[in-house]
């Protein structure tokens, strides 16, 4: 007798890390949504196709109010993929799952060109690089986690550069730049003319609203010093 043997079934699994933006609503929520609308008016595509986590610590939301908040965010084309520090009452099967972990830092310091330089972190290894000899238009996204990105041109408002290493922009930087996403604390951001919507390295970031006015239109370098994003004016 010959027995029939079914083929072995296999399933592949992969781990992937994502850069997520964390939204932290505050009370009154209506005023927080107004502030969000003001942000989106300046950068309407900021959260498009982005992973978004909602931080609810200290917010004390009821289930109905939480559902309304998620609906308001969805109406603004912000889809929440997960929630942090949510009460058990908010973890319904049809709602975003709970997530923990990650590192959140946010600070900025501005120093002039003639200030005493701080100790600069060393990059573990020399990354590869991507050079783009063109302007990056609004709505375009350049993703290069393998190493440095150099733009010989302008990065328009609504455009985005995401690099595993450093980012160099030889033109006006009006969009968003996120450097060091591959875990390189020594990554930096350089630009010839700073009008950025967002600068971010290693989780530390500064948005246009928080940018010191004296860096507007200037040539600058941004780098991570400890858990702070330090911006140095070059000219």
**Treating both helix axes as pointing N-terminal to C-terminal, what angle do 63-75 and 29-42 enclose, rounded to 10 degrees?**
10
Do 197 and 157 contact (CB within 8 A), yes or no? Answer: yes
- Residue-wise pLDDT for 125-136, tens only, equals 554 799 999 999
List, in order, residues 6 or more apart from 227 with CB less than 8 Å away.
105, 107, 203, 204
Q: Looking at residues 14-19, what average pLDDT do you find?
A: 65
Q: Residues 131-174: pLDDT tens digits? A: 999 999 998 888 888 899 999 999 999 899 989 899 999 999 99
Whole-prediction pTM value?
A: 0.59
Closest CA to 136 of 165, 110, 172, 107: 172
The Cα–Cα gap between 99 and 108 comes to 27
Average pLDDT score, the chain? 83
Map out the domains of the chain as residue ranges: 20-90, 108-233
CATH topology assigned to domain 108-233 = Pectate Lyase C-like (2.160.20)
Spatial contact of 195 and 218, defined as CB atoms under 8 Å apart: no
Q: Give the homologous superfamily in CATH for domain 20-90.
A: ACT domain (3.30.70.260)
What is the dihedral angle through the alpha carbons of 150, 156, 162, 166, rounded to the nearest 10 degrees? 40
Geometric angle at alpha carbon 231, from 126 and 53, rounded to 5°: 80
- For the stretch 33-76, pLDDT in tens is 998 888 777 666 667 777 899 999 888 899 999 999 999 999 99
pLDDT for position 226 = 86
In the prediction, which pLDDT does 122 show? Answer: 47
């Amino acid at each position: 007798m010959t027995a029939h043997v079914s083929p072995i079934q296999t399933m592949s699994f992969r781990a992937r890390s994502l850069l997520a933006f964390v939204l932290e609503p505050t009370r009154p929520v209506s005023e927080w949504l107004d502030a969000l609308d003001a942000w989106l008016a300046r950068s309407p595509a900021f959260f498009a196709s982005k992973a978004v986590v909602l931080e609810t610590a200290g917010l004390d939301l009821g289930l109905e109010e939480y559902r309304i908040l998620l609906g308001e965010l969805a109406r603004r084309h912000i889809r929440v993929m997960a929630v942090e520090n949510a009460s058990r009452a908010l973890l319904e099967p049809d709602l975003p799952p709970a997530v923990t972990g990650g590192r959140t830092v946010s600070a900025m310091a501005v120093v002039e060109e003639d200030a005493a330089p701080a100790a600069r972190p060393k990059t573990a290894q020399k990354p590869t690089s991507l050079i783009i000899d063109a302007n990056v238009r609004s709505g375009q996204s350049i993703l290069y986690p393998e190493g440095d990105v150099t733009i010989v041109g302008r990065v328009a408002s609504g455009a985005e550069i995401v690099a595993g290493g450093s980012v160099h922009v030889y033109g006006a930087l009006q969009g968003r730049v996120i450097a060091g996403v591959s875990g390189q604390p020594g990554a930096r951001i350089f630009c010839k003319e700073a009008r950025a919507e967002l600068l971010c390295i290693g989780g530390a970031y500064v948005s246009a609203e928080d940018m010191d006015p004296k860096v507007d239109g200037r040539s600058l370098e941004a780098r991570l010093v400890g858990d702070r994003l330090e911006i140095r004016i070059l000219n």
